[in-house]
Amino acid sequence: MASHPLPLSLFLSFIFFISSSSHFSHALEKTGNHMIKQLNLHPNLEVNILKSNTTSSNDELKVSEPELVEKRLSFPVLGESGATVADLAQHAGYFRLQHTIDARMFYFFFESRKAKADPVVIWLTGGPGCGSELALFYENGPFKLTNNLSLIWNDYGWDKVSNIMFVDQPTGTGFSYSSSDQDIRHDERGVSNDLYNFLQAFFKAHPNYINNDFYITGESYAGHYIPAFAARVNQGNKNKEGIHINLKGFGIGNGLTNPAIQYQAYTDYALANNVISKSDYSLINQKLPYCEKAIKQCGTTGTDVCESAYSFCQQIFEDILSLTDNINYYDIRKKCEGSLCYDFSNVETFLGKPSVKAALGVPRNIEFVSCSDLVYRSMLNDWMRNLEVGIPALLEDNIQLLVYAGEHDLICNWLGNSRWVHAMSWSGQKDFVTASNVSFLVDGKEAGILKNHGPLTFIKVHNAGHMVPMDQPKASLKMLELWTTGKLVQPKKGVVSPL
């Protein structure tokens, strides 16, 4: 019989490869559920789907039309806020999402402690499927949560220089809920439309903020959410769809944005930081071409093969972890304590208290879902999509992009983020690539390495892991303040070695 090349797809060639190699595991070691537990989070529910909300004891939040219902907060907080604003407005509320069966999006809004004219900033926590309260109480919110479940003012909360909102999204995350699992989102189109509709309702309810500069921020899987959301806002503005939102910039912290480039960087980062050996590096790198091919098949629109691409490529990360002694992949300077990398359990206890839910205006029968494994799994076809593709058009419209990354994070490491930022094709790419690296200074000391050209800025943050605002609160607050006031670029005299 004459031989001829087999017309196997890239997808099938990879299946053949893994089935014939003893070095490949047939099951991922880490699931979304496992990763949640490494934060010492144990949500009572897998997702906030309330099959019937007709028994809710809170009539105020029985919203029948797409609208926003808000409650003024009156939390007792220890210490002094340092606010110069006499009447410090703080709210929590629900927005009934349009184009859904019954979805409600929960959010917090905190007025700037300095000036009501400060920018409006929205923060999106990643996961996918983790509530914004993790950032609110452990990173850059107005308050810190103590071990005795008291609130104290955060001296470096981002509300010191901005009017900031924290949103529980996608549906089913945090206190956001629906009575139908059909409202669970599976891609960035659904996520960004929900957020855009929420913004329209928010600014309608708060017209005094319409003219403020607006910035989108977040971290981790929000590296997917943020570019899609920014593009949606820009599109809405150009099409005059509703209230014009004064979008000035979007910032991604230790994000996953361009998986094809970022997964290729895992072994390089791990080797450079002595996480793996040279022989381990060579062995794991044999899987990189198959990961790259699987991602190409996934494309940018999201198909059934995208979940397979996730499994193929995630094995690279899993292989690295299997060679370590229980390393904390959010901060390689540390080990996970037992099976835990962090202990964020206080947030679940605090937000589960009936008195706290009443203060927030949350119905009694709604549970706080710190991280939703179901939302995580529902977004698997979205995971390997390249969200960098929509960014150049935003840069051409002079919408500012800040990408920052703590240098000790493995899972969304600075090297992979730097590479996709440098590889991105736009009119200023050449000038950005050749621009000098300068010191990012805070109180006269180098807090990171910065590169900038035009609307694009990248910062590698020193002495920080995955959660920069938690590890380096003063530096992250200064970064936000300088960025939103157009003063982030440092003097050229601080030139340092290449990134």
pLDDT band per the 50, 70, 90 thresholds, residue 188: very high
Amino acid at 188: E
Long-range contacts of 265-272 (CB under 8 A, 24+ apart): 265/413, 265/415, 265/416, 265/419, 266/316, 266/317, 266/320, 266/410, 266/413, 266/416, 267/316, 267/320, 268/415, 269/410, 269/413, 269/414, 269/415, 269/416, 270/320, 270/410, 272/415
- Catalytic: 436? no
- Report the alpha-carbon distance of residue 385 to residue 199 in Å, rounded: 25
- Catalytic: 220? yes
Q: What is the pLDDT of residues 222-267, one digit of tens each?
A: 999 999 999 999 999 999 999 999 999 999 999 999 999 999 999 9
Q: How many residues does the chain have?
A: 499
- Report the alpha-carbon distance of residue 90 to residue 262 in Å, rounded: 38
Amino acid at 83: A
To which residue do tokens 């991602």 refer?
295
Other beta carbons less than 10 A from residue 131's beta carbon: 29
Name beta bridge partners: 77.
151
Q: Answer whether residue 397 shows pLDDT above 60.
A: yes
Extended beta strands in 306-455, E state? 400-406, 438-442, 445-453
Q: What is the mean pLDDT of residues 15-27?
A: 38
Query: How buried is 416 (Cβ within 10 angstroms: 0-12 exposed, 13-18 middle, 19+ buried)?
Result: buried
Extended beta strands in 193-277, E state? 214-220, 247-255
pLDDT at 60: 39
pLDDT at 40: 80
* Domains in the chain with CATH codes: 9-489 (3.40.50.1820)
Residue 322 to residues 2, 19, 144: CA-CA distances in angstroms?
44, 20, 34
Q: Answer whether residue 405 shows pLDDT above 60.
A: yes
Q: What is the pLDDT of residues 109-162, one digit of tens each?
A: 999 999 999 999 999 999 999 999 999 999 999 999 999 999 999 999 999 999
**Token output for 6:** 């087999």
pLDDT at 129: 92
- Which entry of 220, 370, 418, 476 is annotated as an active-site residue? 220
pLDDT band per the 50, 70, 90 thresholds, residue 52: low
Q: What is the pLDDT of residues 296-327, one digit of tens each?
A: 988 865 577 898 899 889 999 999 999 998 89
Pairing of strands 214-220, 68-72: unpaired
Extended beta strands in 44-141, E state? 68-72, 77-78, 90-96, 104-110, 120-124
Q: What is the mean pLDDT of residues 367-379?
A: 91
DSSP symbol at 212: S
pLDDT band per the 50, 70, 90 thresholds, residue 42: confident
pLDDT at 35: 76
Percent of the chain scoring above 70 in pLDDT: 88
To which residue do tokens 């900033």 refer?
121
DSSP assignment of 455-478, as one string? TEEEEEETT--S-HHHHSHHHHHH
- Report the alpha-carbon distance of residue 383 to residue 386 in Å, rounded: 9
Helix axes 222-238, 188-205, angle to 10 degrees: 60
- Report the alpha-carbon distance of residue 143 to residue 166 in Å, rounded: 13
Amino acid at 250: F
Q: What is the pLDDT of residues 270-299, one digit of tens each?
A: 999 999 999 999 999 999 999 999 999 888
**Token output for 375:** 């939302």
Q: What is the pLDDT of residues 415-473, one digit of tens each?
A: 999 999 999 999 999 999 999 999 999 999 999 999 999 999 999 999 999 999 999 99
- Catalytic: 268? no
pLDDT band per the 50, 70, 90 thresholds, residue 43: confident
Q: Answer whether residue 61 shows pLDDT above 50.
A: no
Taking the mean position of all CA atoms in its chain, how far away is CA 386? 15
What is the residue-averaged pLDDT of the chain?
Answer: 88
- Report the alpha-carbon distance of residue 219 to residue 198 in Å, rounded: 20
pLDDT at 181: 87
Rounded to the nearest 5 percent, the helix, strand and coil shares of the chain are: 40, 20, 45
pLDDT band per the 50, 70, 90 thresholds, residue 499: low
DSSP symbol at 299: T
- Which entry of 159, 409, 418, 439 is annotated as an active-site residue? 409
Q: Answer whether residue 498 shows pLDDT above 80.
A: no
